[in-house]
A and B are shown apart, each in its own frame.
Chain A
Amino acid sequence: MKVIFWILVFPGFLFSSIIGMLLTWVDRKVTARIHWRVGPPWFQPFADFFKLLSKETLIPVNASRFLFLMAPILSIIAITAVGTMLFTMNFYPNMSFLGDLIVLIYLLTLPPLATILGASASKNPLAAVGASREMTLYFGYELPFITAIIITIIKTGGTIRIGDIVTYQHIHGPILYSVSGIIATLVALICMQAKLGYVPFDIAEAEQELMAGVYTEYSGFALALFKLSKAMMLFLLPCFLITIFWGGFVTWWAILKLLLLVVLIILIKNTNPRLRVDQALKFFWVGLMPLAVLGVILAFFKL
């Protein structure tokens, strides 16, 4: 009973989706202020969501029906699991089990995978180009992201339990306050930008080239679920970063940290042009990867 409540209401689905949608409003509002506009009212993401729910869901004739409708559901289930696990392990470190960090990393890779599956299932040429770009980008950012997490694992003495990482940071201070910690957070922050699909890495749904990229064929209910899982990602990825690098959710300061990270993401999004896909790959492997490896070496020397 308690577990169902956790999954469906408090740290799970309902809570993270509402906070996620409010954060997408923050995103749109800050963007509007940067453009010197007024911006949408606070209920805008909710209006968008309910409108999409009430519309028709069209399925292309040639599409693989099952996969096309399964992909958004897969995405939303994965991200709900991330939310539930992340918060229960922050609040009750004892509930953490061995290897849950690895489980979380896998669950976080599922939403991009679901978009690739859905786009390929829709048999639209534009969506296919978007899917191939998303795949390339995915290979680009996943390596530095995991390397950055390895820095935390080394610094906490080789633990892969989130509960232990949170407790360690509670006693010894956050990972961020050291040279290798700063490097790790920086690398993870940039990878997060790509995971969210925001400018400069919004290559997969580049509006000017690919119409709506991977989401081209989606409408109604399925599109609403994709939008919702994106909103939840916007909430949960910064939470993941705070848990791993910045002390976890043990004090109320964590809320300020969350807002700071989100505004930082939005500022990066609004002040950069889009990269080409080969440039993005080069940036991740040639630019970011050596930095992450440097961080790992520093972490071995306890810096």
Chain B
Amino acid sequence: MNRKVGLSVAGAAVLGVLMGMAVPVEGARRAKGDPVASLAGNGEVVTAARVAGEMPTEPGDGRFENAVPLTVRLYPQTATEPRAEKGVVREAALRAIHADTWIAFLVEWADPDRSDVKQGTTDTFADAAALQFPLKYGEAADRLPYVGMGEPGRPVNIWFWRNGGGTGPASLRARGFGTLEPVAGGEVKTAGKWENGRVRVLFTRSFSASSPEEVKFAPRQIGLVPVALAVWGGEKGERGGLKTLSGWRFVKFDGGKVSPAYVRSLAWNPKIRGDAKTGKALMTRHGCAGCHAYPGNPIPTKIGPGLAGIGGIHRPAYLFESLKDPSAVIVPHGNYYSMKDGQPISIMAPFSGPERDAYHIVEFLRSLR
């Protein structure tokens, strides 16, 4: 089913401009020397600066000044119901620092309307933020989990902060939408602060995890860890699937080890160079427009996941796979699949058109961001 996710609803005009832009092919920019240069060139890498001392306990910790922030774009969740049609927080800055035994993240975004947990109310929601990590990463993992909360067989560990607390443990695990569960004995700590119209949230943990359901860090073995972000604007009623999320980004440990093979496995090396404009026309010709909503598609359909923002959320290799083998990852929403021999089968037929067309379509989907 789905794998296409949606993007910012920046509007058709802006998308038109975006679609006209040439999309860089990562393969073409692979540089010699720094193995992560290709990812970094795409704005996908945040470097965790090496610092000394104890784990930070508050978001104002001065050592974050040593870290270069990565601006992360966030897109409304439209893959499953309920869909966040607009999304409140569209951009956040991610910083990371680490010492010998711990890592700390700082997520920061502009939020003029702070919203925290208000006791004595039934109809208010609090601001929240989360980091997501694959449980398995590096060369041992065949590929990245589905970025929308993982998938069966590729679980994720989620670190969750909510303004005012009250949601139980900060460490959670998931294997797809709707499967979130607290990790027993998780040791993630969070602290948030709202100041001058900005929210800053600190997430910390030691490298080793006491639970097998929590992500582990071992920068001397694997110094590049996938991470994704989600933010909820509580004042607009965002909670659960009503949120904005990022695509996978990568934390690079200062002084960590990165294997070139691992980085290569994350790159997109299309056999044929697609063209977004051609891809857009093919979306109608191949019937995609009948089931997927996306900017420029006049059909108000919700049969399949929304595609607005999909280019910002998903990696092209994933988009290609979804097109060719829609049942490879199925978003757990009842309308998107049927069961066959006990296995979920996407209601979307595998793409059977010419190979060339698939690359054009992927190029168009990449432009939706």
Q: Do A and B bind each other?
A: no
